Amino acid sequence: SRILISHGNGLETVSEGCTDIYVEPLQKVWRGELIGSIRPVEERIPELMFQILKEQEPVDIGDYF
């Protein structure tokens, strides 16, 4: 499953591959809040993709960490 968070000023983060999601669509979330998790499903190793977008275009994640 996919979680997209809008941070304002055209900045968004995308987490994809969550097996469990703990928030509802359009719910406001706060720093540190648990929004989702991943766990093995049917003996597969879980994979999580995290991306930062600026004006809907991918940016270098290193610029933000």
Question: Can you give the pLDDT at residue 41?
Answer: 80
Helix, strand and coil content of the chain, in percent to the nearest 5, comes to 5, 40, 55
**What percentage of the chain reaches a pLDDT higher than 70?**
100
Q: Which residues contact 15 (CB under 8 A, 6 or more apart)?
A: 2, 3, 35, 36, 48, 49, 50
Banded pLDDT at 1 (limits 50, 70, 90): confident
Banded pLDDT at 39 (limits 50, 70, 90): confident
Q: For the residues 14-23, what does the mean pLDDT come to?
A: 93
Q: Are the C-beta atoms of residues 16 and 10 closer than 8 Å to each other? A: no
